[in-house]
Structure 1
Amino acid sequence: METTALRELTTVDGSFASVCVDDSHDTADAEKQRELRWQATRAELADLGAPERTLAALDTAATDREPPVGEGGMFLVAAGDRVLVDEELPAPPPRAIARVSRAPFLLPLASLGTRGPRRLVVTVDSVGATITARDARGRELDTGEVRGQDHPVHKVRGAGPGHRTVQARTEETVRHNLKDVADEVVKAAGRLGAGIVVLSGEVQARRGLLDLLPEHIRERTEEVSADATAEDISEAAARHQLARLDQTAEKFRTESGRTHGLAVQGIEAVTTVLREGNAETLLVTEPGDTTVACGPEPGTVAATADELKAYGVDDPVWTLADEALPFAGVATGAALVRSDERLDLADGFGAILRHA
């Protein structure tokens, strides 16, 4: 899961209330059941010490939303009088989650990430592209166009010097147009925190655009045909997500097997690389109820209080690792991956490093 869109959380002072609850609307008395589930979760948050203004903000988010069609869930994070994260989930969580802590509990968002990340759908031709931002369910969030020069963009038949000049000019115009598209795709992906770029449109334009995209965008790009349906796009996103999970697990295993490889596991090693800002990807399996020492900044985490003394933290706050470490990952720009049986990590945590 890309964490760029969650970065605002690291600027918030105070405690967070985190909620993940069944929001299904699939029975005759669904509305009453939704209300009862929410009231039970609200009461749990109140018992945990959530302030009344935070509960009021969560009330609004939980009760004013459109119910899903069939099964669904909702994930909310609030602090003060603001709801900072409000996500619909395609399936209810196995059980309701309510936490109040100095760090938001972000693992449900990654665990239920089968909903897929946000995506950019780019429909490109030789003149420009339509770029549509969609949420994990495929619903449109925003759309815009990038249009370049439309003359000359078509090659002409012929064999003389004039033909070659026109052909070269055409190729240069198309390349310039695609460069403008590539620049906007990079900007839009950053703004959205998009985990996947789905590329549609003319075959030659798609290939040309792929060549111009930076590697970090190209590696999360999937191509579909020009006449791809919404279902085709969703299937491409799902395939990409599963493939990335396989690749991440394989990269971790490979780096773990190398001397001085770019992979570590266990609380002590992972907190160290997070503190140093050297985690490219934070991997989590089953962390249990382990706690870690935390300083005033989200990225200041350690396995022991003594480790934080070098950073001027004399009175650390002890926080559950499954809250503190993902939050530290957000603060330091690490991607968050909730792994499954693909990996067996010491203490439930591992990291792929940016550099040795």
Structure 2
Amino acid sequence: MRLSFLETLYAEPGPFASVYLDTSRDVEHPGRAIALRWQRLRNNLTRQGADRALLDVMEEVVGADADVPGTHGQAVFAAHGALVMDQELPTPPARDSARYSTLPDAMPLVTQHVPEIPYLAVTVHYSGLPTAETHGWVTLDAESGAWPTSNASPGERLHLRVAVATWHHTAVRLGHRLDEWARSAHADAVVVGGDDWACNVLVRRLPHGLQARVVRVGGATATDTGRALLEPQLNSVFRGRMSAHDRELVNVFIGRRALKGAVTEGLSPTVAALQRGQVSALLLNHPPAPSLRLWVGPQSTQVALTEAELVAFGVRAPREERADEALVRILVGTGAELVLVPESELGLYEGMGDLLRYTDLGTPMTHGV
């Protein structure tokens, strides 16, 4: 998964206030509930040293996602009295949290984006009998997104109403339009739901390459705005899957590891490769535990296992920080990708491995294999 969506988060130095809170609207008096949650988090940030100006900026946007219905959450980041990032979360955080630290607490936001599967969702409904003589209508809604974040942040939606009498002919043109849309969105799948007859007509007229990516789903197909089109069906189809892009990276890693190629595994080799900007993709079995620490400097590539190592590199006053925060920063700073892969699918030494852009004689290769 590419982390370019986090680039603005690291455009300025810290310290950062990072907040994750439940902003669901499916409870009684949601505004009051959100205000109470925020007040607890605000008090927590105050105890950690955040100033009033910073907290006031965050308060302006907390709960501002009132137009998003149902269960969801919010991630808010601020630094130096200014809002840095505000994102809706497709699911509420396991617990509300507030952290004031040198680096932003970005890993929970990253894991809410995983597996970031690009898709195109289509619903087709008709009124009347499916005959040329019927004066009914076929209604089509289509929407692209990246699951699961699109559940709470849906993309632009296409809405069309077509006379039943012309549906067979119009479906051909729509098929090519949807094909172009799916290509531009790099969609892994086209999830189609609705009335059988109208869906069958459309699917049979899709270009062959797009037909191969169609997943037909049943169930209610509400088209309310504010949530992803076909949200329940998307959750069923994609839960437990990896994106095709991330799956390809895993397969490349497995192939290179078998041939003793340009990969490395383990914490120490990973840090060494990140220092050199060698990592094209970091694979993790799970995010690092909060107790795991690394030493960092002001630049994103200044990361090490020990303070002495950074001092030897000429870094003044290194700081010990949480490893998950340091890793996200260096991945964004070097343009490297992140892939979370279950240990049951690919066990990694110390839970982490790397696809390397290049190798040199000083690069430790695979460990534990």
Query: What TM-score results when the alignment is normalised by the length of structure 2?
Result: 0.64
SS at match of 1:63: coil
SS, match of residue 58 in structure 1: helix
User: 2:116 maps to what in 1?
Assistant: 117
2:280 counterpart of 1:294? no
The answer to which of 333-342 and 5-14 deviates more is 333-342
Shift of residue 143, structure 1, vs aligned partner: 8.1
Q: Deviations over 1:202-244 (max 9, x none)?
A: 99996789xxxxxxxxxxxx94489998437777766863555
Q: Is 1:354 aligned with 2:329? A: no
1 CA distance for matches of 2:348 and 2:40? 34
Deviation, structure 1 residue 57: 1.8
> 2:265–2:350: 8 Å Cα contact kept in structure 1?
no
2:332 to 330, 333, 340: 330
Partners in 2 of 1:27 and 1:131 — Cα distance? 28
Give the Å deviation of 1:295: 1.6
Q: For 2:91 and 2:234, how far apart are their aligned partners in 1?
A: 20
Equivalent residue, structure 2, for 1:312: 314
* 1:9 Cα deviation from its structure 2 partner: 2.2
| Alignment partners' CA distance in 2, 1:9 and 1:26 | 30
Q: Is the 8 A contact 1:264 1:352 kept in 2?
A: no
- Structure 2: how far apart are the matches of 1:206 and 1:138? 30
SS in structure 1 at match of 2:325 = helix
The one-letter amino acid paired with 1:117 is: E
Partner of 1:66: 66
Query: Which digits, 9 at most, give the CA deviation of each residue in 1:71-107, with x for residues without a partner?
Result: 2221222222333222222222222222222221221
Q: Which residue of 1 aligns with 2:45?
A: 45
Instruction: Please report how far the alpha carbon of residue 246 of structure 1 lies from its aligned counterpart in structure 2 after TM superposition.
Output: 5.1
In structure 2, what is the equivalent of residue 262 of structure 1? 263
Q: Can you list the C-alpha shifts for 1:233-260, whole angstroms capped at 9, x where unaligned?
A: 7777668635555555554444444424
1:159-187 per-position Cα deviation (integer Å, ceiling 9, x unaligned): xxxxxxxxxxxxxxxxxx99xx79xx77x
- Residue 339 of structure 2 aligns to a residue whose secondary structure is strand
Alignment correspondent of 1:136: 150
Query: What value does the CA root-mean-square deviation take over the aligned residues?
Result: 4.0
Residue 282 (1) aligns with residue 282 (2): yes
Paired residue total: 296
Is the CA contact (8 Å cut-off) linking 1:264 and 1:351 kept in structure 2? yes
Normalized per residue, which structure has more helix? 1
Residues 1:307 and 1:35: Cα distance change in structure 2 (over 3 Å): same
Q: Which residue does the alignment assign to 2:198?
A: none
Superimposed CA distance per residue, residues 257-308 of structure 1 (whole angstroms, 9 cap, x where no aligned partner) = 4424423221x21122222222122233252212111121112211123333
Q: Is the 8 A contact 1:51 1:80 kept in 2?
A: no
SS in 2 for 1:287: coil
Distance 1:82 1:22 in 2: 22
Instruction: Call closer, same or farther: CA 1:338–1:46 in 2, change over 3 Å.
Output: farther
> In 2, distance between residues paired with 1:117 and 1:302?
30
Deviates more, 1:99-108 or 1:341-350: 341-350
* Paired position in structure 1 for 2:30: 30
**Structure 2: which amino acid aligns with 1:353?**
L
CA distance in 2, matches of 1:202, 1:286: 40
The 1:339–1:109 alpha-carbon spacing in structure 2 relative to 1, beyond 3 Å, is farther
1-structure distance, mates of 2:281, 2:100: 26
Fraction of identical pairs, as percent: 27
Partner Cα separation in structure 2 for residue 315 and residue 202 of structure 1: 62
The 2-side partners of 1:323 and 1:225 are apart by 37
TM-score norm. by structure 1 comes to: 0.66
Q: Distance in 2 between matches of 1:277 and 1:224?
A: 39
Mapping of residues 16-27 of structure 1, within 5 Å:
16-27=16-27
Q: Which amino acid aligns with 2:260?
A: T
What is the alpha-carbon distance in structure 1 between the residues aligned to residue 251 and residue 117 of structure 2? 24
CA contact (8 A) 2:19 2:77 kept: yes
Summarize the Cα distance change of 1:349–1:28 in structure 2 as closer, same or farther, 3 Å threshold.
same
Is the contact made by 2:266 and 2:349 (CA closer than 8 Å) also made in structure 1?
A: yes
**1:280·1:354 contact (CA, 8 Å) conserved in 2?**
yes
Which stretches in structure 1 are left out of the alignment for 5+ residues?
A: 124-129, 145-176, 190-195, 210-221
Code of the residue aligned with 1:301 in structure 2: it is: V
Q: Deviations over 1:135-175 (max 9, x none)?
A: 6227554589xxxxxxxxxxxxxxxxxxxxxxxxxxxxxxx
Unaligned runs of 5+ in 2: 123-141, 159-175, 192-201, 222-228, 360-369
Counterparts of 2:66 and 2:322 in 1: how far apart (Å)? 33
Judged with a 3 Å threshold, the aligned counterparts in structure 2 of structure 1 residues 333 and 26 are, in CA distance, closer, same or farther, namely same
Q: CA deviation at 1:325?
A: 0.8
Is this contact kept in 2: 1:122–1:197, CA < 8 A? no
Alignment of 1:156-175 (within 5 A): none
Which amino acid is the alignment partner of residue 339 of structure 2?
V
